Amino acid sequence: MKLSRQLLLLSLLTLLIPWAGYQHLIEVDSLLRQGQGQALEANARAQAARIEAQPALLEQLALAGAQAQGFYAPLSPGAIVVDGYGGDWPAKRGYYYKDQDGDFSAQWQLALGRAEAESFHNRQRQRLKRDTLYLWLEVSKAELVYFHPGRPGLINGDHIRLRLGQRLLALGSSAPGLLQARYQSADGVKLEHRVNGHWRERKDGFQLELSLPLAMAKAGFNLNIVAADGRWLGLQHWDLPAQPPIYQRAELDQALAQAQQAELQLAVFSGDGQLLGASEPTPAWDYIGLHPVKAWLYQRLLARQQLPTAQPWRRQGKLDSIELGSALGGQSQSRWYRQGGQGLLRSAAPIRNGQGQLVGAVIAEQDNSIHIGLMNSALVQLILVSGLASLLAGGGLLAYASWLSWRVRRLSLAADRALDEQGRVELSALPASRAGDEIGDLSRSFQQLLQRLHAYTEYLRSLSSKLSHELRTPLAVVRTSLDNLSQGPLPESAQVYAERAAAGSERLSAILNAMGAASQVEAAIAGAELERLDLAQLLSDLAGAYGDTFKDRCQVELQLQIPGPCPIVAAGELLAQALDKLVENAADFCPPGGRIYLRLNELQGHYCVEVDNDGPLLPAKMQAQLFDSLVSLREPSAKQGADERPHLGLGLYIVQLIAELHRAQISAHNRADGSGVIFRLMLHKALT
The pLDDT assigned to 398 comes to: 75
Model pLDDT for residues 590-649, shown as the tens digit of each residue: 988 889 999 999 888 889 999 999 988 887 766 656 776 655 666 544 334 444 555 556
One domain, residues 41 and 87: no
144 in helix, strand or coil? coil
Q: What is the DSSP string of 9-69?
A: HHHGGGGHHHHHHHHHHHHHHHHHHHHHHHHHHHHHHHHHHHHHT-HHHHHHHHHHHHTTT
Q: Do 502 and 532 lie in a common domain?
A: no
- Maximal CA-CA distance, the chain: 178
- pLDDT score for 212: 92
- Domain membership of residue 337 (yes or no) is yes
Distance separating alpha carbons of residues 34 and 54, to the nearest angstrom = 31
Instruction: Give the span between the Cα atoms of 616 and 591, in whole angstroms.
Output: 9
The CA distances from residue 528 to 194, 253, 681, in Å, are 123, 109, 19
Q: Is residue 398 part of a domain?
A: no
- In terms of average pLDDT, the best of 72-86, 414-428, 431-445, 587-601 is 587-601
Q: Cα(59)–Cα(55) distance, rounded to whole angstroms? A: 6
Residues 333-372 pLDDT 10s: 998 887 766 778 899 999 998 888 888 999 998 877 665 6
In a domain, 428, yes or no: no
pLDDT of 351 reads: 92
* Together in a domain, 563 and 644: yes
Q: Is the pLDDT of residue 128 over 60?
A: no
* Confidence category of residue 515, pLDDT binned at 50, 70, 90: low
How many domains does the chain divide into?
4
Residue 462 pLDDT > 70, yes or no?
no
Statement to judge: residues 575 and 678 lie in one domain: yes
Q: Which of 633, 667, 634, 631 is nearest to 649 (CA)?
A: 631
Please indicate, yes or no, if residue 405 is contained in any of the structural domains: no
Question: Helix (H, G, I), strand (E, B), or coil: what is residue 610?
Answer: strand
pLDDT score recorded for residue 288: 42
List the end-to-end C-alpha distance of the chain, in Å, as a whole number. Answer: 41
Return the sign of the alpha-carbon dihedral for residues 624, 528, 645, 510.
negative
pLDDT band with cut points at 50, 70 and 90 for residue 287: very low
Q: Which of 216, 244, 272 corresponds to the end of one domain? A: 244
| Domain containing residue 189 | 72-244
Per-residue pLDDT, averaged over 187-215, amounts to: 89
pTM exceeds cut of 0.75: no
Q: Is residue 316 part of a domain?
A: yes
Asked which of 13-17, 543-547, 580-584, 667-671 is least confident by mean pLDDT, the reply is 13-17
Over range 138-151, report the average pLDDT: 83
Q: Which has the closest alpha carbon to 311: 284, 285, 275, 338?
A: 338
Residues 576 and 553 in one domain: yes
Q: What is the pLDDT of residues 547-575, one digit of tens each?
A: 888 888 888 888 888 888 888 998 888 88
Q: Is residue 253 over pLDDT 80?
A: yes
- Rg (the chain; Cα; Å): 55
> Is pLDDT of 175 > 70?
yes
Give the pLDDT score at 449.
84
Residue 612 lies in a domain: yes
DSSP state of 592: T
| pLDDT at position 347 | 93
Q: Sheet of 275-278: strands edge to edge?
A: 275-278, 264-270, 358-367, 342-352, 333-339
> 640 Cβ partners below 8 Å, 6+ apart?
503, 507
Instruction: Indicate whether 79 and 225 sit together in one domain.
Output: yes
> Residue 360 and residue 352: Cα distance in Å, rounded?
7
Report whether pLDDT(123) > 60: no
Domain end (from 498, 517, 536): 517
- Check pLDDT > 60 for residue 300: no
99: domain CATH number is: 2.60.40
Q: For residue 645, tell me if it sits in a domain.
A: yes
| 3-state SS, one letter per residue, for 533-573 | EEHHHHHHHHHHHHHHHCCCCEEEEEEECCCCCCEEEECHH
Q: Are residues 545 and 608 in the same domain?
A: yes
pLDDT on residue 342: 72
Q: Specify whether the CB–CB gap between 106 and 141 falls below 8 A.
A: no
Domain boundary among 226, 244, 262: 244
Tell me the pLDDT tens digit for each residue of 221-238: 888 888 887 777 766 655
Task: Say if 433 falls within a structural domain.
Answer: no
| pLDDT at position 209 | 92
The better pLDDT of the pair 423, 618 is held by 618
- Considering the domain architecture, whether residues 218 and 161 belong to the same structural domain is answered as yes
Indicate whether 627 and 553 sit together in one domain: yes
258-265 contacts at long range (C-beta below 8 A, 24 or more positions apart): 259/46, 259/47, 259/50, 263/366, 263/367, 263/369, 263/370, 264/40, 264/43, 264/364, 264/365, 264/366, 265/364, 265/365, 265/366
Q: Is 228 exposed, middle or buried (0-12, 13-18, 19+ CB in 10 A)?
A: middle
Per-residue model confidence (pLDDT) at position 637: 43
What is the rounded CA–CA span in Å between residue 356 and residue 371? Answer: 37
Asked if 203 and 331 sit in the same domain, the reply is no
The alpha-helical segments, DSSP class H, found in 138-249 are 214-217
| Between residues 680 and 34, the one the model is more confident about | 680
| Shared domain check, 587 and 485 | no
At 606, give phi and psi (nearest 5°): -125, 160
> CA 9 to CA 15: how far, in whole Å?
11
- 397-414 confidence digits (pLDDT tens): 778 777 877 888 888 888
Task: Indicate which CATH number applies to the domain containing 661.
Answer: 3.30.565.10
Q: What is the mean pLDDT of the chain?
A: 78
Give yes or no: residues 80 and 50 share one domain: no
pLDDT at 23: 74
Q: 276: domain CATH number?
A: 3.30.450.20
